[in-house]
Amino acid sequence: MPGGNSASDPCDVSAIVDRLEQVIEPEYISVWLNTSVPALGNEKPIALLVRGEWQPVLRVISGLESPGFS
């Protein structure tokens, strides 16, 4: 699997949720993960994570963490 990550690895999912908690109200994290995101080619972040495609999701989260990010 690319990057050696697996969607079933709770450490990876936990790390993503921890980062999202810094930029999204905790009650909306599930909504964000299950919503099509234009920066991800209108894919749902959770769909990418399930396929093991962590990097695009992490890039979007980095952008949320750094508002000046482009």
Secondary structure letter of residue 66 according to DSSP = S
Higher pLDDT, 1 or 16: 16
pLDDT at 1: 41
pLDDT at 13: 83
Between the alpha carbon of residue 49 and those of residues 1, 68, 70, the distances in Å are: 12, 25, 22
Q: Which amino acid is at 59?
A: R
pLDDT at 69: 53
Higher pLDDT, 68 or 15: 15
Distance of alpha carbon 24 from alpha carbon 34, whole angstroms: 14
Give the pLDDT confidence of 8-59 residue by residue, as tens digits.
Answer: 554 578 899 999 999 999 999 999 999 999 999 999 999 999 999 999 999 9
- Domain regions of the chain by residue span: 2-65
